[in-house]
Structure 1
Amino acid sequence: MMRKTLLAAALSVTAFAAQADYQCSVTPRDDVILKPQTVQVKGENGDLVITPDGNVTYNGKQYTLSAAQREQAKDYQTDLRSALPWIDEGARSRVEKGRVALDKIITEQVGASSNMHGRLTKLDAQLKEQMNRIIEHRSDGLTFHYKGVDQVRADGQQLVNQAMGGILQDSINEMGAKAVLKGGGNPLQGILGSLGGLQTAIQDEWKNQEADFQKFGKDVCGRVTALEQSRKALVSGLK
């Protein structure tokens, strides 16, 4: 269950895609570049640039728009400016919530001096680095890199797997040392009992967080779907 909890946090970095086990029917195929002067949507679907007042350039050509088209363009770029920071903050906050919860469990079950705390801190930093490969923070705004989603999904899984190996070894070593110092009975039985208590605590925490991960995934998918529909409608009107 610790693996599942950590993996859900890792999958939070695939922010524009599905969260946890939720699969979205829309897969982004464009980068989104937010700057104060422009919003740019560039990738497999062409190169669309929109200014805050609704001027549109598509594949290098500036278009003369009707009043309705200009409002459509303004609404689309406004929605992008709202959605991208919301997704970024939602993903980052869930990674942090997962780290804090697991850190607390380790303190309660193993102790404040456990090496597992350090491993979680390292994993947290690594996951946030991965997140920046998808939604990059720049001095002039945010940039979503659509190709980063699949890359980070694989790398995030690998990071979690590596962290799990170390955490499992630490838990055995530290609980084993406590069982030996405590003395009496069967030390192995004591280790297994302690590991069982740790697993139960993590399983309970996962149940608390799972619904939130799933809801966030569906909310992200809903926004992505609406944005893609808006993009298609705008570009179709230009053609």
Structure 2
Amino acid sequence: MAQLERFAECRNPAHEVDGVVTRMRTLGAGFASGDGVGVFNRVYLSVTEEVDRHVDGGRFPDAGAAIALDVLFAERYLAAVAAVAADRRPPACWRPLFQFRRHPGVRPLQFALAGINAHIGHDLPLAVVDTCRTLGCEPADIEDEFDRVGDILVSLEERIREDLMPGPDLFQIADPLTHLLGSWSLERARDGAWATALTLWALRELPSVTEAFRSRLDAAVGLVGRMLLTPVPD
């Protein structure tokens, strides 16, 4: 993959993190108000900036591995955006978010969590495998970095929900919305992503089996995303 080659050739990987942040900021400036993809982009940008601060603060045991994982993880979301911009189909896990991005009955928190679902459930395990291949290591070698990135995501989840959840004056909307979104957990999704990464790594010498597994993973995560985007009536 091109992004793996670019990363391997990069003399200062931190510049790659800066490049990812810049690209997401540029994307953000182009999204119309209320665009569901733009809602997720803002959330993901804040997460990436927080990971960058942790790297700069020396909070990762292996900064190089954390940067590789962060960059290769982000590249998968950016590739999905680029595919849609070029009139190509993105992975199935991302399609619901792009299909419903302007639906008036879908709330901002739904857009945010649908994007997080696609990125954690599908992109993160693939990024773990990408990182291991790039660095020539095993998943166990980057488990600490994976866990710390996951901890950042979980710590921000409550703030995301508070920022995007309708206020008390919209209780009639918030009640079914709370019921719908309460069925999805970022922490469980993160645990599932690690188990999936280990499975993909174990299957790496079986390309046909790996491809079938990835295809079904993509479809399953997309199904969950479609459910998260169920329109909530006024």
Is TM more than 0.5 here?
no
Instruction: Report which of the two structures shows the higher radius of gyration computed on alpha carbons.
Output: 1
Higher strand share: 1
Which structure is higher in helix share?
2
